[in-house]
Amino acid sequence: MAIQISHRAKAIKPSPTLTVSNLAKQMKAEGIDVINFGVGEPDFNTPNYIKAAAIKAINDNFTRYTESSGIIELRKAISAKLKRDNGLDCDPNDILVSPGAKASITAILLTICDPRDEILIPSPYWVSYTSLVEMVDAFPILLPTRAASNFKISAEQLDEALKSLSNPKALILNSPNNPTGSIYKRKELEQIAEVCLKYDIMIISDEIYEKLIYDGQEHMSIASISDEVRERTIVINGVSKAYAMTGWRLGYAAGSTEIIKRAARIQSHTTSCVNSITQKAAVVALNECDDSIAKMRDEFQKRRNFLVDELNKIPNVKCRLPRGAFYAMPNIAYYLHNNQLGIKNCVKICEYLLQEYKVAIVPGSAFGADKYVRFSYATSMENIKEGLKRFKKGLINSLR
């Protein structure tokens, strides 16, 4: 029998971040001493008060299917969080709890996109946005940004791009950003929102790194600008990054009643609901904060400062100071142009660094940034120090 694969499945490439991470894990399992800068998750443990809530849920036999959009207790906790942290009034019925923010974004794209719709995505971008957009038969429209503008789009650029599109449906904004660490300020968000209003497009605002912001910077949700903007914005967030809960799988989408209701229907036929135990744990994560989150953030800030300082000491490597998330993205163009090994792109240089120097870094091309590589500093200071030595040696030796 001929195996039949859909055009959709054929178009989807494996996530390059997971590929690097898995390869590094495999090498480690084989006893090879690899330093892994590929990971997209905090290396801290889920705080004890959250774990205790999960254990209690199991002992209470809270182990059955729940309401598809999430237990009301959790949606109330998210609603309170959105008010407290983001100044948003959001009814618990306008919230969809999903198995991860990734699943929330998927449900929202399935809800709002028709084939050939255009979804605008500032580039560099998180790897899954383009794949998810393609999966719903829409077109990702990339908006290139430059290091000099802190990898942020401007309102003028968005306006210019929208002029030439025929079916623009939404802008996906990710602040703080993966991979660049950039954060949009109030003024910038106001100007961007104005353009979205002018062209009547929606905004999907992925705020998953909200709690990981440094140097006293503040996170602002674009949805909080005005009622008009809130109506067209779906806020995406979750517990993965803020509470070191990546494996628990819980994210959420908050926005217009009509969209959330329909996205919940889609979810009811796909994943049914989020694991009941995780939901109970998330209620406690959101309602009862201890100091573990602040400690984790302070540690990330220390590592970021060290990593970026050291990267900038490597001849001809340039790295901007990221303001949020836990990634640094140095420009290594010099080593692509001048190396003596025939390595012409960032994928090849990452392969070389992994194979020859046992250091795993994600090629920037995974995020639409060919001259860059991405380091995750969600790893110990000791690993960062050793990994940097290997990275530097690998780059310098590639010139010989």
Ligand X SMILES: Cc1ncc(COP(=O)(O)O)c(C=O)c1O
Residues near ligand X (CB under 6 A) are 40, 100-102, 126, 174, 178, 206, 208, 238, 240, 246, 251
Helix residue ranges, H only, 271-379: 276-287, 292-313, 333-338, 346-357
Q: Taking the complex as a whole, how short is the minimal distance between the CB of residue 199 and ligand X, in angstroms?
A: 24
φ, ψ dihedrals at 60, nearest 5°: -85, 5
Sequence-separated (6 or more) residues with CB below 8 Å from residue 289: none
Residue nearest to ligand X (CB): 100
Please answer whether residues 220 and 186 qualify as being in contact, where contact means their C-beta atoms are separated by less than 8 angstroms.
yes
Residue closer to ligand X by CB (options 176, 330) is 176
Residue closer to ligand X by CB (options 240, 339) is 240
Order of strands, sheet of 251-254, starting from the edge strand that comes earlier in the sequence: 95-98, 251-254, 233-238, 202-206, 168-174, 118-123, 139-144
How many CA within 13 A on the CB side of residue 106? 16
Q: Taking the complex as a whole, how short is the minimal distance between the CB of residue 374 and ligand X, in angstroms?
A: 11
φ, ψ dihedrals at 235, nearest 5°: -85, 130
Tell me the two tokens of residue 290: 């201890």
Q: Taking the complex as a whole, how short is the minimal distance between the CB of residue 362 and ligand X, in angstroms?
A: 11
Q: Taking the complex as a whole, how short is the minimal distance between the CB of residue 23 and ligand X, in angstroms?
A: 18
Residue closer to ligand X by CB (options 142, 343) is 142
Distance CA 128, CA 133 (A): 8
Q: Torsion-angle region of residue 243: left (phi > 0), alpha (psi -120 to 50) or beta?
A: alpha
Tell me the two tokens of residue 49: 């008060």
Distance CA 44, CA 36 (A): 15
Residue closer to ligand X by CB (options 88, 208) is 208
Residue closer to ligand X by CB (options 66, 174) is 174
Q: Taking the complex as a whole, how short is the minimal distance between the CB of residue 4 and ligand X, in angstroms?
A: 29
Distance CA 283, CA 307 (A): 35
CB-based burial, 72-104: b 16+ in 10 Å, e otherwise: eebbbbbbebbeebbebebebebbbbbbbbbbb
Q: Taking the complex as a whole, how short is the minimal distance between the CB of residue 118 and ligand X, in angstroms?
A: 20
Residue closer to ligand X by CB (options 205, 398) is 205
Q: Taking the complex as a whole, how short is the minimal distance between the CB of residue 102 and ligand X, in angstroms?
A: 3
Residue closer to ligand X by CB (options 221, 246) is 246
Strand duo 327-328 + 251-254: pairing: unpaired
Residue closer to ligand X by CB (options 367, 391) is 367
Residue closer to ligand X by CB (options 241, 358) is 241
Q: Taking the complex as a whole, how short is the minimal distance between the CB of residue 41 and ligand X, in angstroms?
A: 7
Nearest to 125 by CA among 364, 307, 384: 364
Q: Taking the complex as a whole, how short is the minimal distance between the CB of residue 396 and ligand X, in angstroms?
A: 31
For residue 316, CA distances in Å to 321, 331, 339 come to 16, 9, 12
